[in-house]
Amino acid sequence: MAEPPIQMTNPLPTDGELAILRALWAIGAPATVRQVHDELLRSKDTAYTTVLKMMTIMTEKQLVQRDDSERSHRYTALYTEPAVQSSMLKSFMANAFSGSAFKLVQRALDDGQASAEELDAIAKLIAQAKSRRKA
């Protein structure tokens, strides 16, 4: 008897799964394993059979949906990029920063990776968040 599919309410893909999701988001439409593989080859040498196996597992984990109505199965990401980023960020913040957004942002800024333009954009986001809280 087959096991029921895993219900994933907070998607936390592995690095490999995230790479496949990024490829699907970049393609922007239901894609075959070949198309995903070709997209992945732009940045990393990955075996076709590895991509196929990972996408099968991702279907079982309900990260992607497989349409097998045609000869070449087509896959679609079941979560948007912002939804996955949000879920991963919440998990990372909870685990690495004891749930503190302040500590997360402080560490990011202390590491000095943000450009002056990014700092300006961050300041605007903070101002917008403050005004939303007051409303």
Identify whether the C-beta of residue 40 lies closer than 8 Å to the C-beta of residue 20: yes
Global pTM reads 0.82
Q: What is the pLDDT of residue 9?
A: 67
pLDDT under 70: residue ranges of the chain: 1-9
Structure tokens at 31: 């894609």
> How confident is the model over 25-60, as pLDDT tens digits?
999 999 999 999 999 999 999 999 999 999 999 999
Which amino acid would we find at residue 104? Answer: L
59: number of Cβ within 10 Å = 17
Question: Which whole-number Å values give the CA distances from 71 to 57, 68, 74, 104, in the listed order?
Answer: 20, 7, 9, 47
Q: What percent of the chain has pLDDT over 70?
A: 93
